[in-house]
Amino acid sequence: DNLGTELLLSVRDYGPGIPAEMHERVFERFFRSESTRDKIAGAGLGLAIARRIVEVHGGRIYIENPFGGGSTFKVRLSKREPR
């Protein structure tokens, strides 16, 4: 029985990291931090879309700042047997 089993997906980058106080804000639609607004192209929708997709599937997406810099984006999903 696989009930209660989770799947964890992690993606890490080695950039400057995301301050803890911004961890929830980066998932807001159209949010662009001041430090990346002029350096990286985009509309600020990618992480908002990712969060919505993960939540529709009953999962959770969040950020951790590992020791040594960068950011780790983690997705947790419940593993279910196909019907």
Instruction: Give the tens place of pLDDT for each residue, 3-36.
Output: 568 899 999 988 888 888 888 888 888 877 665 5
Q: Which pLDDT belongs to residue 49? A: 94
Q: Cα(57)–Cα(76) distance, rounded to whole angstroms?
A: 10
Q: Which pLDDT belongs to residue 8? A: 93
Q: What is the DSSP letter of 4?
A: T
Q: Cα(23)–Cα(33) distance, rounded to whole angstroms?
A: 11
Answer yes or no: are the C-beta atoms of 13 and 66 closer than 8 Å. Answer: no
Q: Please state the pTM of the whole predicted model.
A: 0.73
Better-scored residue on pLDDT, 32 or 61? 61
Please compute, for residue 38, the number of CA atoms within 13 A of its CA located in the half-sphere on the CB side. 2
